[in-house]
Amino acid sequence: MVDVIEKDLLIVGSGLAGLRAAIQAAKTSTKIKIAVISKVQVMRSHSVSAEGGTAAVIFEDEGDSLESHAYDTIKGSDFLADQDVVERFVSIMPSEIYQLEHWGMPWSRRKDGRIGQRAFGGYSFPRASYAQDKVGFYEMQTLYDTCQKFDNIEFFNEWFVTSIVHDGQQFCGLTAIEISSGTFYTIKGKGLIIAAGGAGRLYSFSTYALSSTPDGLDLAYRAGMALKDMEFVQFHPTGILPSGILITEGARGDGGYLINNKGERFMKNYAAKLMELAPRDIVSRSMMTEMQEGRGFKHETGVDCLKIDLRHLGDDLIKEKLAAVREISMKFSGVDPSKEPLEVRPVCHYMMGGVHTNIDGATEIKGIWAAGEVACNSTHGSNRLGANSTGECLVWGKLTGEFAAEYVLSCKTPPFPLYQVETEEKRIYDGVFRGRGDVNPYEIKQELTDTMNDKAYVFRNENDLITGLKKIRELRELTWKHVDDQAKEYNTNFTNVLELDAMFRVTEVLLLGAIYRKESRGAHARTDYPNRDDKNFLHHTLVYHAKEPIIKTHPVAITKYKPVERKY
């Protein structure tokens, strides 16, 4: 007999999008019973790691404008962003900055007392509102504190969601494992918001927490929803070696230089106007070109790298505005950034793709929404501008929270398809937990992520992508679906193997999309197809789950900004 919990609105994920959704839903109606379900403790959600800022136009009196923010975002996306979505995003963001402030967000300040904003890549004005270089931590703390004001929000910390239950058209519930006890549950609900974050741990060299595996993406994919634009992976220019931990774009926004082994600020050769503050895809490709042409450094591990120089900023500014960068640098690289440059290299940092949604965050199944990095409403197109991701979490957290709350107040729930719970229990227990094999799943996971590093990095080509896909499929066929630890309580061996199961499906989607898209656009740079091809590829990629994944296309919403060549 499976244990059953009943709630009204279920939110999977407790990062910025999940918490913002919970607050908005609770504000919409105190009658709604809300469950926030997370595989980690709330304040360990990866959103706490966001460093640099949250973009919004709050100084129109100083020349900035919503139209400028919209165009910068659309141009930065290499014209694959849905323009109606971007226009909604930039119009709502200013009020979210002030809302956070009213809830207690400790924004950094200018000398005149107004909220501080720093320069970020691809923007025409400094519009990244910041709190030192710990914006994600402070935003998360502010939202989590605010959640405590609502009696109808309940947190399920350390629960692993394994499947979405629906009748083919409408949401009915979830299945999940309470990690502390090992108990398998059915959680019935009327509405669902998927806010489970990105999939950056598909790569070995990554800024993401180890928990950032594509479980949320896979939940949607196995339930019949499309994954959209998964070929577009953002590689942030400045990950420190060897860990991959992020050095925020705020370090360049506050005046840091990228230098090669000749001591040159090489970005003058690639984006003379914006230099180090060109969009991330351009900076990362420029860095790779410098290293490939012999102007890089050798890290002690043997990996090619370049350097970011903050020395000229001075010790006082670094301690005031880049305190986390200083701490990370000293702890993980043994370098004081006020005294010597840091060795850096492009690192997996964000997924532009995700669960296919419309402008409201609604998915293809009635009663299910998605928000934050797990979703693809096409705010970012093929390349995200820095500081727009935390903003997207806030805006669509708010919107989906409100829409979902209104829905559950009036919806009629269909008969619960109990057979799906039985099928899922058999899949994870008979197929994984009680399965047996002779291959170490942790070694398989390492091979998978190393393959992605090698075959689907900043520069790609057909041969590497096909080789990578073949390797992933070979690994998937090995007998890794087994769990050595047979304990019920806190069996992370079990959840790690379930994560790996999800990684295989989502990796396949990413590689298929990258093979299919025979052009270079934004973060997807093909050396064998070096030009953008609007005639054949100005559309989104949709992939549906089947024995052989099904690839479809979806039009880009263009309102008033016609695609042009990107120049910075």
Cα–Cα distance for residue pair 72/517, rounded to 1 Å = 24
Residue 278 to residues 253, 285, 530: CA-CA distances in angstroms? Answer: 10, 11, 19
Residue 90 to residues 69, 79, 131, 159, 423: CA-CA distances in angstroms? Answer: 7, 16, 20, 34, 43
Among 236, 380, 476, 532, the active-site one is 236
Sign of CA pseudo-dihedral 362, 367, 372, 374: negative
Distance from the Cα of residue 399 to its chain's centroid = 18
- Residue 411 burial (C-beta neighbours within 10 Å; 0-12, 13-18, 19+): middle
The DSSP output letter for 526 is E
CB 285 within 8 A of CB 269: no
Helices (H), 456-554: 462-477, 492-516, 534-537
By DSSP bridging, strand 304-309 and strand 297-298 are antiparallel
By DSSP bridging, strand 9-12 and strand 34-38 are parallel
Q: Is 540 a catalytic residue?
A: no
Q: Is 482 a catalytic residue?
A: no
Cα–Cα distance for residue pair 368/360, rounded to 1 Å = 11
CB 52 within 8 A of CB 133: yes
Among 166, 252, 345, 356, the active-site one is 252
List all residues 6 or more positions away from 476 whose beta carbon is below 8 Å from its beta carbon.
504
Active site residues: 236, 252
